[in-house]
């Protein structure tokens, strides 16, 4: 089977970690994975891959613009492959927090859905599957205002100590999504028609000798 491509976009680095985990999982399943930053100039043609994962984080309600550009410009190629779009956010951490009141969780769930719908509208690409994944609160780099705004998005278990990172990702659930994508890619590559035969050699017809077998 051809390799699986994992493209990521990140501001703070956490989505790269998620992309690396996805690539590791693909390799654990004994398939080849390639990982690329969406900012990379000239990403290769996607027909070299058997499936593509796109992972981007949410900032101020928007996914990274480089991922929007990538999905928009490659939507035709993406439509021909099994795909998974992973949207990384703290709103999803709130939506998954069982200690929160139902109303808050529902509101968070709707906000995440809106961000996914906006991404589809902006790019014109409909992923095979799109999933929200809870990200991390990496606080050291943020000023006090940002920190307190972000803290309100996440669970009460977030550490008070500002230098620590609190990650909310459900790694087992992420692995299960990757397993399902790999399963689809394997199925499709097993049923794909064989590659077209190489063109017949024509030298013999040009110089008068029979073609070399
Ligand atoms: C400036 C800033 C704005 C953010 N805005 C949002 C937001 O609108 N919605 C949300 O759910 N999470 C928001 N987050 C949380 C990030 O999505 C989360 O921290 C994610 O793990 C960051 O991933 P990254 O390190 O790959 O960029 C924001 C984080 C920062 C630093």
For the four alpha carbons of 62, 65, 67 and 70, in that order, the dihedral sign comes to: positive
Select from 163, 165, 168, 111 the least CA-distant residue to 135: 168
CA 170 to CA 95: how far, in whole Å? 13
| 145 touches ligand 1 (CB under 6 Å) | no
Ligand 1 and 59: CB distance under 6 A: yes
Give the pair of three-digit tokens for residue 81: 């492959």
**16 half-sphere exposure, CB direction, 13 A CA radius:** 8
CA of 136 to the centre of ligand 1 (A): 8
pLDDT at 205 over 50: no
Of 8, 9, 67, 150, the one to substitute when testing ligand 1's pocket (max ligand atoms within 8 A of C-beta) is 150
User: What pLDDT, on the 0 to 100 scale, is given for residue 212?
Assistant: 46
Least confident of 12-16, 27-31, 157-161, 195-199: 157-161
What lies within 8 Å, CB to CB, of 210 at 6+ separation is 204
In CATH terms, the superfamily for domain 4-207 is Flavodoxin domain (3.40.50.360)
Beta carbon of 135 within 6 Å of any ligand 1 atom: yes
> What gap in Å lies between CA 147 and CA 151, rounded to an integer?
6
Q: Does ligand 1 lie within 6 Å of residue 168's CB atom?
A: no
Per-domain boundaries in the chain: 4-207
In this structure, what token pair is assigned to residue 76?
Answer: 């035709």
């Amino acid at each position: 089977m051809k390799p699986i491509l994992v493209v990521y976009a990140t501001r703070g680095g956490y989505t790269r970690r998620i992309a690396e985990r996805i690539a590791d999982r693909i390799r654990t399943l004994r398939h080849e994975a390639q990982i690329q930053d969406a900012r990379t100039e000239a990403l290769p043609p996607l027909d070299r891959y058997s499936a593509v994962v796109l992972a981007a984080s949410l900032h101020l309600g928007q996914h990274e613009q480089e991922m929007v550009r990538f999905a928009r410009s490659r939507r035709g190629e993406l439509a021909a492959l099994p795909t998974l779009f992973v949207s990384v956010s703290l709103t999803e951490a709130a939506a998954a927090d069982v200690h929160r009141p139902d109303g808050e969780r529902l509101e968070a769930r709707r906000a995440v859905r809106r961000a996914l719908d906006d991404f589809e509208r902006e790019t014109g690409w409909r992923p095979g599957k799109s999933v929200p994944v809870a990200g991390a609160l990496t606080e050291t780099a943020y000023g006090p205002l940002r920190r307190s705004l972000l803290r309100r998005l996440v669970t009460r278990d977030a550490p008070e100590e500002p230098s620590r990172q609190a990650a909310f990702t459900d790694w087992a659930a992420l692995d299960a999504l990757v397993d399902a994508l790999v399963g689809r890619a394997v199925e499709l590559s097993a049923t794909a028609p064989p590659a077209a035969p190489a063109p017949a050699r024509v030298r013999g017809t040009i110089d008068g000798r029979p073609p070399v077998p």
